[in-house]
Amino acid sequence: MILESFPVGPLQANCTILGDEDAGEAIVIDPGDEAERIHGRLTKLGLKLKQILLTHAHIDHVGGALRLKRLTGAPILLNENDLPLLATMEQQAAWLGIPTPETAPPDEGLADGQRVGLERYPAQVLHTPGHTQGSVCLHFAPLKLLVAGDTLFAGSIGRTDLPGGDYGQIIDSIQSRLLPLPDETRVLTGHGPETTIGTERRSNPFLRGQ
């Protein structure tokens, strides 16, 4: 198994490559920027890209997706509840003072319960609204791995003050969908260091008393 997670772009969103070297296949989660660098890494690893999975439609997570699709031919998957947010890319870029990346509607949705990923490393989609209405986490149960986007961070949670954000909803999403996962589940977050479900259940100040 190849698992690489690294920050991309001015907001340093974590992009993840998960590959099966025997099958020569990979998925990429949240190519927020630096599509050429991500493509170069896939080429160096000898992996064919099968899916581009987006945890939500904020610019720092989707900015490189269309470019990566053009470089690889892989389809883009995004939860349909974030389509309105995807349409605000110009506004999102203006808030940050960065150029507007070209985007396109996703090729497929990412519905709750849907199975995505590689044949050998499948993931289940967990719809976890709150940071945005279409935020999802990807749970690779056999790998004891969760890719959480901006829903859960080490010692924090995603901001809910942007359009589409809802504080009560993100707390409920984390409580009902993420905290029931096994303690040892490794969590790759959308920004900053990784953590585990057990660590966050015990010590995340936003989840105390949950």
The binding site for Zn ion (CB under 5 A) comprises: 58, 150
> How far apart, in whole angstroms, are the C-alpha atoms of residue 114 and residue 106?
15
Comparison of 25 and 150: residue with beta carbon closer to Zn ion: 150
Contact 35, 64 (CB under 8 A): yes
Task: Give CA 1 to chain center in angstroms.
Answer: 19
Minimum Å distance from CB 21 to Zn ion?
A: 31
Q: Return the closest-CA partner of residue 204 out of 176, 179, 180.
A: 179
| Residue 33: other Cβ atoms inside 10 A | 26
Q: How far is the CB of 60 from Zn ion (least distance, A)?
A: 7
Return the residue nearest Zn ion (CB atom): 58
CB closer to Zn ion out of 131 and 139:
131
Cβ closest to Zn ion, residue 19 vs residue 32: 32
The DSSP call for residue 84 is H
Token pair recorded at residue 142: 């056999």
Smaller CB distance to Zn ion: residue 61 or 139?
A: 61
Q: Quick one: 58 or 67, whose CB is closer to Zn ion?
A: 58
Contacts 24+ apart (CB under 8 A), 35-43: 35/64, 35/65, 35/67, 35/68, 35/71, 36/67, 36/71, 37/8, 38/8, 38/64, 38/68, 39/68, 39/71, 39/72, 41/4, 41/17, 42/17, 42/72
